[in-house]
Structure 1
Amino acid sequence: MSESGAEVFGTDGVEAAGATVPIPASDPVAAVRETVRRLVADGGCAWHGVQTHASLVPFLIEESAEVVDAIERELPADEVRGELGDVLYQVLFHAALAERDGEGYDLDAIASGLNEKLIARHPHVFGDRGYLSVEELHAEWERLKEDAAGERRGSRGALEGIPAGMPTLARAAKVVERLKRAGALDPAAERPNGRVRAEEAVNGAEAEAELGDALIDLVVRANALGVDPDRALRRAVDRLAARALPGE
């Protein structure tokens, strides 16, 4: 970097080898933003200074998983708050790297783009569309995504936008939900006789336990057969999508 941290970040930013400009305690987001900027700036933390967007990916995944774990284990609110703070740190870290390296965006740009997207995607709240049911909202969001991308209405594929790098089971659930929403999947028809029928369970907790046990049984079976269950599921999802949407 040819310029000092202060020059890159502006007069209210980070000094290359000094302290940050004090931020009022009443603005904690601005304060932590400056802390992270100081860490990644020249003369800051050596470890932070050599990180890249790519090198931070494992940490983002890990920190997100820890939030999920805290929520699902029903840990105290302070624990959840702390884990969410670690995820926020990852966002601040990526933003500070982009700002330092002149990539064309910073935290303000991220926040501004997000705010514009939220308002544009919710005309029933910020516009004149009026109340929409959850089912109507699903269709509305797809139309709004097409409009935002300049695409013809109805041109988006049912599975478009699902990240290939999602955890396999989460991706499978997303594909099934999208196919159902598009009317391209009948869950009953996809369930051969003998498979778990969780919908017959008395309540959601019983259904979850029953399905969890069934998934473990499949993993144990895969292990006995020498089959990679993750690969097997990836391929099964691909076959399902090909059957449900043969033209895509």
Structure 2
Amino acid sequence: MDSASDDAENPPTELHAEGAEDRTAAALARVVETVRTMVQPGGCAWHEAQTHESLTRFLVEETAEFIDAIERDLPAGETRDELGDVLYQVLFHAAIAERDGEGYDLAAVADALNEKLIARHPHVFGDRGYLSVDELHAEWERLKEDAAGEDRGSRSPLDGIPAGMPSLARAAKVVDRLRRAGLINPSAAERSHEDPLAAVIGPDEQRLAEFGIGDAMLALVTRANAADVDPDRALRLAVDRLSARVLHGES
């Protein structure tokens, strides 16, 4: 086979990338128009009646189903469909905002996101050069302060953590933020009695694998049930005590 035939069957990588971008743009344009049509008057009565508030539970549910597909290692086609349902929620909210004249649409959302990603990744799109993960954590906080027009070091490590997060996810986020800020050290082999985590994470538990941690947490939930204690509330209160103790020295 001659070189011309080879070129025809194996187009340059740039052409493949260009074709993929065109295909993505066309597919997004089609689904955006589909959702926009459904939420407009005369489209779908149910969609027309929805608001940002009424859709929040669906966003949570669809996100949970996508996570479940990942954790169960479902076939790619099923995972794709679940991710599509998450995308649908994003498109739905954007279409509602456009319909109700809230001052933004999907294009505005995408443009704002793109600008934020580029601004917060100068090591990729600027001249900062390669940064390690630890360096990126410190850089991330500085960039967020700059974006908000705040003085360096003025942000609390816990700023921006939604109060409405599921309790376990919020607890993990709080602990991670405090660790990254150097305020706690969950992996320390020895702990003083003053350490707010001493009663929660002991040396033995550090060596537990994922199954062991899960079993230990389930045992605590079982104990809470026997004591007629709401484990979700107990965890929320514990996270609040930890935050107050570490950040403000409160007892």
Q: d(CA) in 1 for partners of 2:237 and 2:24? A: 52
- Give the direction of change, closer, same or farther, for the CA distance of 1:159–1:25 in structure 2 (3 Å limit): closer
* Structure 1 position 137, deviation (Å): 0.2
* Structure 1 position 240, deviation (Å): 0.7
Q: d(CA) in 2 for partners of 1:153 and 1:194? A: 32
Aligned pairs for 1:2-17 within 5 A: none
Q: d(CA) in 1 for partners of 2:35 and 2:86? A: 13
TM-score (normalised: structure 2): 0.84
Q: d(CA) in 1 for partners of 2:73 and 2:224? A: 31
* Number of the residue aligned with 1:59: 58
* Identity value in percent: 70
- Give the direction of change, closer, same or farther, for the CA distance of 1:80–1:72 in structure 2 (3 Å limit): same
* Number of the residue aligned with 2:98: 99
Please state if 1:85 is matched with 2:84.
yes
- Give the direction of change, closer, same or farther, for the CA distance of 1:198–1:75 in structure 2 (3 Å limit): farther
Q: d(CA) in 1 for partners of 2:233 and 2:31? A: 41
* Number of the residue aligned with 1:134: 133
SS in 2 for 1:164: coil
Residue-by-residue CA offset, 1:185-211 (whole Å, 9 max, x unaligned): 12243233995734324xxxxx11000
Aligned pairs for 1:222-237 within 5 A: 222-237=224-239
- Give the direction of change, closer, same or farther, for the CA distance of 1:242–1:108 in structure 2 (3 Å limit): same
* Number of the residue aligned with 1:220: 222
Counterpart of 2:41, as a letter, is: D
* Number of the residue aligned with 1:192: 199
Counterpart of 1:235, as a letter, is: L
Aligned pairs for 1:71-220 within 5 A: 71-187=70-186, 188=188, 189=191, 190-192=197-199, 195=202, 197-201=204-208, 207-220=209-222
Q: d(CA) in 2 for partners of 1:136 and 1:176? A: 19
Q: d(CA) in 2 for partners of 1:174 and 1:238? A: 12
Counterpart of 2:198, as a letter, is: R
SS in 2 for 1:27: helix
Q: d(CA) in 2 for partners of 1:120 and 1:244? A: 31
Q: Is the 8 A contact 1:196 1:214 kept in 2?
A: no
* Number of the residue aligned with 1:18: none
- Give the direction of change, closer, same or farther, for the CA distance of 1:131–1:119 in structure 2 (3 Å limit): same
Report which of the two has the higher share of helix.
2
Runs ≥4 residues deviating over 2 A: 191-201
Q: d(CA) in 1 for partners of 2:120 and 2:87? A: 23
Q: d(CA) in 2 for partners of 1:96 and 1:116? A: 21
Q: Is the 8 A contact 1:25 1:31 kept in 2?
A: no
* Number of the residue aligned with 2:44: 45
Counterpart of 2:222, as a letter, is: V
Alpha-carbon RMSD across the aligned residues, in angstroms, is 1.8
Which blocks of at least 5 consecutive residues in structure 2 are unaligned?
Answer: 1-22, 192-196
Counterpart of 2:245, as a letter, is: R
